[in-house]
């Protein structure tokens, strides 16, 4: 164990590069020699509206452990019939920061209102179903989950936050204590529950921020006592079109100007527009700074170097880059990049990759960043969509994302993750599995066939890193 502590200290500077808070395990993605965990549904499906799951007569769900060095599945965690139907949602890798050493866990949402806890070391070692530690019941229709690891000056927080779309709250588990949920349900709605996300950052601590696609609000939560403190209520279109949001979804934070961002849905029946709302959270009230109507779409992220706010506009087949500017200043739209040439993906043309869904960041040796976007069109089952990418130094000169072909997705959602020297995204055609790209060159490294129904991918170090365990301890 001491050897791994030494390794963690030796690469601490490297780990500190990743600044964006998307999942809460980004620092672990810097570790070399790890594995991609492919979450597969087998022949199981979920009805989101009802929150029910079922399985056919085909393969059972599994978590396949993929070695990007050998491009093969090296271990698998089968989900046996005793667990019933299992359909995966978001997952993260976390570590318990105990005085006697670090231990790694994979924690995943399951659509049947459960949290599944996996011993990472046992999964990698090939212990199969024995790697499953427990399942915990949670609220209905879970989708997004987040790791809340060490917060500088606050000790090793070590909490897993799971959002229940059906109930409109977060369920919280203390990492390493798997007996039950450990805090009251954390409310993330005013009147109408819905699908939502969580934003947190050490800069913002102890406050986190939540969204809800069913309400025109942005919510602030005190993450120490799990209570909603403030909220920003957006207007109806009739009251003020420039401040109108029917619902909120994606969330991001800029360390440059100290503002947070939320993707904002409009209401076309009364002329409302989609956009990206920029909010100042400092002071007594949450204040809307601006609604950027030229930055549409449901997903927004902060780049790993902290310099860019990346807005993904899938329906218009483009990516919008906003520059945060100085502290307190409003952001400005700097670059709009086409995902496919002449937006051919919108016409679903064969051999045309586009319609970006999610982003993964790869930090380059020269300090620049490669932005990798998973593509969901044309979904021609030949692998032509693949991924698209651009380097931050090429913003302003490159107008279209470079297309790397290799695997097609099967739906409008396509998970993508950075790990070690690679970036991996899920694929369903020409086979189920992972499409893996060299993070530095952007070239296809290979594809790996997994169990049927690949739906999520995360990265897990081959041994605990301790990257989030520095500083004071609890």
Tens of pLDDT, residue by residue over 93-128, are 999 987 777 899 999 999 999 999 999 999 999 999
290 burial (CB, 10 Å; 0-12 / 13-18 / 19+) is middle
10-residue mean pLDDT series, the chain (474 residues): 36 37 84 96 94 96 98 98 97 88 94 97 98 97 92 73 97 93 93 96 92 97 94 88 92 94 81 88 94 92 93 96 90 96 90 94 97 92 93 97 96 95 97 98 98 98 89 39
Q: What is the full DSSP assignment across 428-444?
A: -BSSSEEEEEETTT--E
Q: How far apart are CA 310 and CA 307, in angstroms?
A: 10
Q: Is residue 468 part of a domain?
A: no
How many domains, in total, are found in the chain? 1
Q: Is residue 249 part of a domain?
A: yes
Contact by Cβ (8 Å): 385, 377: yes
CATH at 334: 2.130.10.10
Q: How far apart are CA 257 and CA 292, in angstroms?
A: 16
Cis peptide before 132 (omega within 30 of 0): no
- Which pairs from 319-326 meet CB under 8 Å and 24+ separation? 319/356, 319/359, 319/371, 319/373, 319/401, 320/276, 320/294, 320/295, 320/296, 321/395, 322/261, 322/276, 322/292, 322/295, 324/254, 324/256, 324/257, 324/259, 325/256, 325/257, 326/256, 326/257
Contact by Cβ (8 Å): 436, 72: no
Rg (CA), the chain: 21
Of 321, 351, 325, nearest in space to 333 by CA? 321
Q: Is residue 127 part of a domain?
A: yes
Range of the domain at 196: 45-461
The pLDDT value recorded for residue 156 is 57
Q: Is residue 2 part of a domain?
A: no
Q: Is residue 32 part of a domain?
A: no
Q: Is the dihedral of CA 68, 201, 363, 388 positive or negative?
A: positive
Residue 2 backbone phi and psi in degrees, to 5: -60, -35
Distance of CA 256 to the CA centre of its chain: 21
pTM of the model: 0.93
Q: Is residue 9 part of a domain?
A: no
Q: Is residue 416 part of a domain?
A: yes
Q: How far apart are CA 415 and CA 434, in angstroms?
A: 10
Q: What share of the chain is helix, strand, coil (3-state, %, to 5)?
A: 10, 45, 45
Of 92, 35, 32, 141, nearest in space to 434 by CA? 35
Q: Is residue 33 part of a domain?
A: no
3-state secondary structure 146-182: EEEEECCCCCEEEEEEEEECCCCEEEEEECCCCCCCC
Q: Is the dihedral of CA 22, 214, 413, 161 positive or negative?
A: positive
Contact by Cβ (8 Å): 352, 323: no
The pLDDT value recorded for residue 237 is 79
Of 355, 280, 288, 350, nearest in space to 316 by CA? 355
Strand partners, 63: 39, 77
Contact by Cβ (8 Å): 294, 309: no
């Amino acid at each position: 164990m001491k050897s791994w502590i030494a390794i963690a200290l030796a690469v601490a500077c490297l780990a500190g590069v990743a600044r964006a808070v998307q999942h809460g395990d980004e620092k672990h993605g810097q570790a070399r020699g790890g594995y991609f965990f492919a979450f597969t549904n087998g022949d199981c499906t979920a009805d989101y509206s009802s929150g029910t799951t079922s399985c056919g007569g085909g393969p059972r769900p599994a978590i396949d452990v993929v070695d990007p060095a050998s491009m093969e599945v090296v271990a698998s965690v089968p989900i046996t019939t005793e667990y019933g139907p299992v359909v995966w949602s978001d997952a993260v890798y976390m570590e318990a920061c105990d005085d006697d050493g670090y231990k790694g866990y994979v924690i995943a949402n399951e659509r049947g209102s459960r949290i599944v806890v996996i011993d990472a070391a046992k999964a990698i070692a090939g212990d199969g179903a024995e790697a499953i530690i427990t399942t915990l019941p949670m609220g209905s229709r879970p989708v997004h989950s987040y790791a809340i690891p060490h917060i500088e000056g606050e000790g090793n927080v070590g909490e897993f936050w799971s959002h229940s779309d059906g109930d409109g709250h977060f369920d919280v588990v203390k990492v390493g204590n798997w007996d039950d949920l450990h805090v009251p349900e954390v409310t993330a709605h005013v009147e109408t529950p819905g699908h939502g996300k969580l934003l947190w950052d050490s800069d913002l601590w102890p406050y986190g921020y939540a969204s809800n696609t069913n309400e025109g609000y942005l919510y602030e939560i005190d993450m120490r006592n799990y209570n909603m403190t403030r909220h920003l209520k957006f207007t109806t279109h009739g009251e003020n079109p420039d401040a109108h949001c029917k619902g909120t979804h994606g969330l991001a934070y800029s360390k440059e100007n100290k503002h947070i961002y939320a993707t904002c849905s409009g209401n076309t029946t009364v002329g409302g527009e989609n956009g990206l709302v920029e909010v100042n959270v400092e002071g007594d009230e949450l204040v809307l700074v601006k609604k950027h109507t030229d930055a549409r779409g449901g997903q927004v992220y902060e780049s790993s170097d902290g310099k860019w706010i990346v807005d993904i506009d899938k329906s218009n087949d483009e990516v919008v880059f906003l520059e945060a500017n100085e502290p307190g200043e409003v952001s400005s739209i700097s670059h709009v990049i086409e995902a496919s040439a002449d937006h051919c993906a919108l016409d679903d043309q064969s051999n045309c990759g586009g319609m970006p869904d999610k982003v993964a960041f790869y930090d380059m040796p020269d300090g620049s960043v490669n932005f990798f976007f998973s593509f969901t069109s044309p979904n021609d089952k030949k692998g032509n969509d693949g991924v698209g990418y651009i380097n931050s130094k090429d913003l302003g000169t490159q107008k279209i994302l470079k297309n790397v072909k290799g695997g097609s997705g099967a739906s409008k959602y396509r998970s993508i993750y950075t790990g070690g020297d690679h970036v991996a995204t899920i694929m369903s055609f020409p086979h189920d599995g992972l499409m893996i790209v060299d993070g530095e060159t952007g070239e296809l490294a290979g594809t790996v066939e997994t169990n049927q129904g690949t739906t999520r991918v995360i990265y897990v170090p081959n041994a605990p890193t301790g990257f989030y365990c520095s500083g004071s301890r609890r």
